[in-house]
């Protein structure tokens, strides 16, 4: 897929609603693209100087790209973790076939073994927690999301 085709396809994430928010009754849930933007903003603001900010930002942008093809699968969808990863990896094989450099960054993020990848996981959950607080202010019961995000938010000082 050319860079132009990838960019056009990726814009489709603006139309993929975050499934967890829909499940708890948020009338107009954020999109996957909005979530990824929030993670990228947190990466920009919270990346310590000893880490590679450019790599972290790339991870933040790419981390949910596979959802273009597989949708926003949550633990409530009954898809085993290994199967979810297999589906996402297959989607990334297609989407990033012409960009092995970006595929390597996604693989690193998925493996969670680098400092940037570990920070990304905390930023991903912290962003979800921040969004949960916004929905809570609208009267939505988001307790399960806040429980899931609490440790990451505390590690980041949020």
Domains and CATH numbers, the chain: 3-155 (1.10.3210.10)
Residue ranges of alpha helices (H) inside the chain are: 3-10, 19-23, 32-46, 53-62, 67-70, 81-95, 100-111, 115-136, 143-155
Please, are residues 46 and 131 in contact by the beta-carbon 8 Å criterion? no
- Res 77 pLDDT > 80: yes
What's the average model confidence in pLDDT over 140-144?
92
Report the share of the chain in percent with pLDDT over 70: 99
Binned at pLDDT 50, 70 and 90, residue 1 comes out as: confident
Sign (positive or negative) of CA dihedral 83, 87, 88, 89: positive
Binned at pLDDT 50, 70 and 90, residue 158 comes out as: low
- Res 151 pLDDT > 90: no
């Amino acid at each position: 897929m050319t860079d132009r085709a990838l960019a056009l396809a990726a814009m489709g994430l603006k139309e993929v609603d975050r499934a967890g928010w829909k499940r708890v009754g948020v009338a107009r849930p954020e999109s996957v693209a909005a979530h990824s933007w929030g993670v990228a903003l947190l990466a920009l603001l919270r990346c310590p100087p000893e880490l590679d900010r450019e790599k972290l930002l790339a991870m933040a942008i790419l981390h949910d790209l596979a959802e273009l093809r597989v949708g926003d699968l949550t633990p409530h969808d009954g898809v085993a973790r290994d199967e979810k990863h297999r589906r996402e990896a297959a989607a990334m094989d297609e989407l990033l076939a012409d960009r092995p450099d970006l595929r390597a960054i996604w693989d690193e993020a998925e493996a969670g073994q680098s400092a940037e990848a570990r920070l990304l996981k905390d930023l991903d959950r912290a962003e979800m927690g921040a969004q949960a607080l916004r929905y809570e202010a609208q009267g939505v019961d988001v307790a399960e999301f806040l429980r899931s995000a609490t440790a990451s938010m505390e590690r980041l000082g949020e």
